[in-house]
Amino acid sequence: MKAKNIKGFGLRILAVALSFLAISWLGLSSGIVMAQDEQPQFTTQFRLGDCEFETRGVNPYFNLKPGYQSVLEGEEDGATIRVEISVLREFETIVLPDLGAVKTRVVQEREFEDDELIEVSRNFFAICDETNDVFYFGEDVDIFEEDGTVSHEGAWRAGQPDEDGLAQPGIIMPGTFLLGSRYYQELADGIALDRAEHIEMGLEVTTPAGSFAQCVRVVETTPLEPNSDSEKIYCAGVGLVMDNGNQLIEFRPNTGDDEADD
């Protein structure tokens, strides 16, 4: 009988153990808890109770400093789509049963089709002091229909009823970008269930607004529309630079104007 390579077997076991410990440490450091029965699904549980939430700040790929603005533009079905994103000097208080009142920053998105305003959303974000994760607490939506009516489809708020209880906050961008991470951005069952997967990092990207390094690629999906997905690229110090066919055409960098507005 051929003797087993005990040393090689032991090294393989050690490597697996070290890999598991590394993954566990990274998950804890980002403030994310992954239940064993969810892997390799999308994370739905977050360590909200460990966070002190702030309404201003910057993590590598997401800016919550008031006054920051960016504009993306592209073509879709022969029409010019323009999206204007502004971090407002406004707040929204979200009440959660376990956390109480959480003050959030309002980030407004205005979408135009051939210069006609078709949608306005007011998104509610707060950044966790301990992990730099930016949490998503909901949004108000106005969609201007061709018949003159206004739809609010997709609007949701954490702490308010959804189809399976109460909607919960998700993460829009973790403070630490880990390749392969999967997590929910919105947790409003039957209303809004966007989720993200980290696909690529270390990219260099050129848009009409300039060339950027240290960029990452994120693919967003939702179980509410199983056959659809959205690809986004974020760059360090800038934020969102590509959203499907839309590219960053201008942005207002931080100018040092950080006057108190809280």
In DSSP notation, 141-204 reads: EEEE-TTS-EE-TT-EETTSEETTEE-EEEEEE-SS--TT-EEESEEBTTTB--EEEEEEEEEE
Residue 259 lies in a domain: no
Residue 11 has pLDDT above 50, yes or no: no
d(CA 103, CA 47): 17
What was the pLDDT predicted at 253? 73
**Residue 202: both structure tokens together:** 């270390």
Kindly report, residue by residue over 169-215, the tens digit of the pLDDT: 999 999 999 999 999 999 999 999 999 999 999 999 999 999 999 99
pLDDT single digits (tens) 86-131 = 999 999 999 999 899 999 999 999 999 999 999 999 999 999 999 9
Per-residue model confidence as pLDDT tens digits over 135-151: 999 999 999 999 999 99
The total domain count for the chain is 1
Q: Does residue 154 lie in a domain region?
A: yes
pLDDT of residue 262: 57
> Which domain range does residue 60 map to?
6-252
pLDDT in tens, 38-79: 445 899 999 999 999 999 999 999 999 999 999 999 999 999
pTM: 0.83
262 found inside a domain: no
**Rounded mean pLDDT of 226-248?**
96
DSSP 41: S
Tokens of 221: 């999906």
Residue 260 lies in a domain: no
Q: Is the peptide bond before 208 cis (omega within 30 degrees of 0)?
A: no
CATH code for the domain of 233: 2.40.360
Q: Is residue 108 part of a domain?
A: yes
Mean pLDDT, range 156-175, rounded to an integer: 97
State the DSSP H helix or E strand holding residue 22, giving kind and residue range, or none if neither: helix 6-29
- The Cα 226–Cα 196 span in angstroms is 14
Contact 164, 224 (CB under 8 A): no
Any domain includes 261: no
Amino acid 136 reads Y
Q: What is the pLDDT of residues 88-98, one digit of tens each?
A: 999 999 999 98
**pLDDT given for residue 176 in this prediction:** 97
In this structure, are residues 118 and 149 in contact, taking their beta carbons and an 8 Å threshold?
no
Q: Read off the pLDDT of each residue in 9-24 and give the average, rounded to a whole number.
A: 40
In a domain, 215, yes or no: yes
Let me know if residue 194 belongs to a domain: yes
Whether the Cβ atoms of residue 125 and residue 137 lie closer than 8 Å to each other: yes
